[in-house]
Amino acid sequence: MFIIKRVVSMNGEGFRRVFEDYHELVLHVAYDLLQDHERAQAVCEDVFVAFYEEMERVEEERIKGWMLENAQKMAAQADGRNIDEV
């Protein structure tokens, strides 16, 4: 989680709020698919790094959907599956 902590401190309160609101949800979605806490943590980190890069283009009411969609997609990719297989 080192990268996430660094990103949170770089962007301030908006990103911090999103992280606090959705971290557990993203981790849960990734763990459900991967059944491995360490790999789920890595996916969670990737999701939040991707969000950091895209956050200016994600409408506030779409953040939860964006998080869920990307957590599923990235966890499936980490597991060597296509998102359609999930």
Tell me: the pLDDT tens digits for 45-64? Answer: 999 999 988 888 888 899 99
Residues in the chain: 86
Residue 55 sits in which domain range?
16-81
Residue 35 in any domain: the answer is yes
Residue 3 in any domain: the answer is no
Which residues have a Cβ under 8 Å from the Cβ of 82 and sit 6 or more positions away? 76
Ramachandran angles phi, psi of 59, nearest 5°: -65, 145
Residue 33 in any domain: the answer is yes
Residue 2 in any domain: the answer is no
**pLDDT tens, 67-84?**
999 999 999 999 887 555
Q: Which residue, 67, 57, 54, 73, is CA-closest to 19?
A: 67
| pTM for this entry | 0.80
